[in-house]
Amino acid sequence: MLNGAATHYRSRPVTAGHPAGRPCADPACPCPARTPDAGHAARSGRPADRYEAWMIHTRHYRLVPLPDAPETAVGISLAVPVLRKRLLRTAALTPRQQELKGLLTGLLQQLPPAPPVPDRSNQNEGETP
């Protein structure tokens, strides 16, 4: 997913096992979970989302913590100046979404152009048009 090549999420979870290659019944063991999480169930087999690479200055890079666990980072702040955006993958639309997009595009193309906005840059302060 991260390199933009996949068009759909995996429909089955990755089967990961205990590092020693044996079943593990120890709940304190750090071996990978064998059951898919809620995130996998929500995305399983669905089309991939739009994916962009954002370049931001390091001084604006801020980790965002979980509200109830401040020591756990869940991402980075998006409320920063973006130096450059690069589209890596467009969203894969379902046939119904493609149909709706086509209808909306057709409707928007039929609208008359918006009237020009009057230039008021040379008005003095306090004057009314």
At 37 the pLDDT is 66
At 45 the pLDDT is 81
At 14 the pLDDT is 63
Structural domain spans, the chain: 1-15+42-50+90-109, 52-86
pLDDT in tens, 58-111: 999 999 999 899 999 999 998 999 999 998 888 777 789 889 999 999 998 988
DSSP string, 36-100: --HHHHHHTTPBPPPEEEEE--GGG--EEEETTEEEEEEEE---S--SEEEEEE-----HHHHHH
Most trustworthy range by pLDDT among 45-54, 74-83, 107-116, 120-129? 74-83
At 53 the pLDDT is 87
Length of the chain: 129
